[in-house]
A and B are shown apart, each in its own frame.
Chain A
């Protein structure tokens, strides 16, 4: 009897064990997670799964993903990333990410940063040409009045600026003056100038010389008879200049001033070398991150065109109108 009971017990245990093991086997058969292998071009992108950053970089395998849909996002750089919803099935999964963006999309993405740069370029140009007009009108008049010393001083300034590269002028101001300032005001310790100030200073001084030439040419283009008529009426040289010559010269000076503005818009890109974040500098920064020089520089070129074309149009229209009036 006892023997029978023991056997019965063993039997039950055996069945239980059998049941348990078989249950386990069944469970192993219907697993609820799987692995996902990810390949991308280019490699080395960071992987986000359902919005969470993982420590993985492509190529890699994401282990133990639950069966079903997952949002997988690969990020290589600001301009190279791709999101996909991947359905993970039991067994082996693998997914390829091409990450190839269209050029247009890339250009669209980089536009805000470049526009900011373009705005800076416009601002620098406007301020420089405005200062240039003030400096240049003064200097231009200094070149034509009858005073040898004043003529010479104005001439040296104009010749120096027009005879040296703008790049050199920028370097002279940004790198050349801090030691001098230091000797004068700081016991020999150089006083650095901030790039914004250097840029504005260099561009204004440069523009001033070119405007001076425009103003001088404008004044000298006015018929000598105008000055003589004014003087013969007893008007002083100053009055004749102010009320007879300059108003006429001003009209002729407007179109070349427009050209100066356009030239300055383009030449201001040189201040990128001292770290002024205008359009060109912004583009350089973007290119080092995106590895997309072709699109970036094309975009920069287009942005310059967008800025210069309206002015070119205005200038040629003014030129035509003034020609009719003459």
Chain B
């Protein structure tokens, strides 16, 4: 479903992604781990074209999205949901309005259709009673669940998560992970940058270990955690698995 071939990204002189190649099949949950600055966020941001790749190609359902003559960037992004570390909810809109905005503006849904869909999603993340609340009156965990619902409202084919729980207080992490687990169980294709190894072990089909802009190790969670070949991966894992 997603095919990444020799993806490169440079910020002026800084070579952040140095030839990423991987494939993600429909319904697969892939966790991306790696030290800070290794390019994990940049990789995700390239996938929904928030960053313009400097080289290589990304195929989503067979279409090369790096070929600007072929695609409309907005249409690609509508198919690729993204959840941010810092939620990025729209503070001037209620939870409900956060969810209905894009379907109405992009997909052309009527208010009724968008609202109906939004309530379904609010049920799914367990926040129907917070529909009319503004983001600053929600806890971090609640905000992140609304953000997930907001992305899902576009009915994306794949969901990208960039450290969705690392800005949260420990007691709120679980509620967000639970939502993500349910999503995975329902068959959503997901790419998750995370340091939650428990989540990775339980849900991920595959784990990618990134270092200095490359995928250094790749495999099923248990396999990768136990039999990492590279020293850097071992070092990183020994720190994080404690």
Report if B81 contacts A (CB, 8 A). yes
CB-based nearest B residue for A229: B88
A18-53 to B contact mask, C-beta < 8 Å, 1/0: 000000000000000000000000000000000000
The answer to whether A232 and B48 touch across the interface, beta carbons within 8 angstroms, is yes
Complex Cα distance, B84 from A273, in Å, reads 57
Q: B105 contacts which of A229, A243, A248 (Cβ < 8 Å)?
A: A243
What's the interface size class on A, roughly?
A: 10 to 19
A234 touching B74 by the CB < 8 A rule? yes
Q: Is A233's CB under 8 angstroms from B84's CB?
A: no
Q: Name the CB-closest residue of A to B98.
A: A229
Q: Which residue of B lies closest to A228 (CB)?
A: B50
B41 CB to closest chain A CB (Å) equals 11
A141 CB to nearest chain B CB (Å): 18
CB–CB A233/B154 < 8 A: yes
Tally of A-B residue pairs with Cβ under 8 A? 63
Contact between chains at B81 and A229 (CB < 8 Å): no
Q: B92 touching A235 by the CB < 8 A rule?
A: no
Produce 1/0 per residue, B105-149, CB < 8 A to A: 110000000000000000000000000000010000000000100
| Cβ distance B192 to chain A, nearest Cβ, rounded Å | 15
Count class of interface residues, chain B: 20 to 34
Give A234 to B82 CA distance when docked, in angstroms. Answer: 10
A229 contacts B154, CB within 8 Å?
no
Residue of B nearest to A247 (CB): B92
Contact A228 B84 (CB under 8 A): yes
Judge whether B154 and A223 touch: CB under 8 Å: no
Q: Bound state CA distance, A234 and B65, in angstroms? A: 14
Which partner residue on chain B sits nearest A237 by CB separation? Answer: B74
Q: A244 in the interface, Cβ–Cβ < 8 Å?
A: yes
Contacts of B199 in A (CB 8 A): none
Q: A234, B106: Cβ atoms under 8 Å?
A: yes
CB of A313 closer than 8 Å to a CB of B:
no
Q: Annotate B36-68 by CB proximity to A: 1 below 8 A, 0 otherwise.
A: 000000000000101000000000000000000
CA distance A232 to B90 in the complex (A): 13
B78, B88, B102: which contacts A228 (Cβ < 8 A)? B88
Determine how close the nearest CB of chain B comes to the CB of A131; give it in whole angstroms.
27
Most buried by B among A229, A244, A248: A229
What 7 A-B pairs are tightest by C-beta distance, nearest first? A234-B78, A233-B102, A229-B88, A225-B88, A232-B82, A234-B77, A234-B106
21 contacts between A and B (CB under 8 A): A225-B84, A228-B50, A228-B84, A229-B147, A231-B50, A232-B50, A232-B77, A232-B80, A232-B151, A233-B78, A234-B74, A234-B77, A234-B78, A235-B74, A235-B102, A235-B106, A239-B105, A244-B90, A247-B92, A248-B90, A251-B92
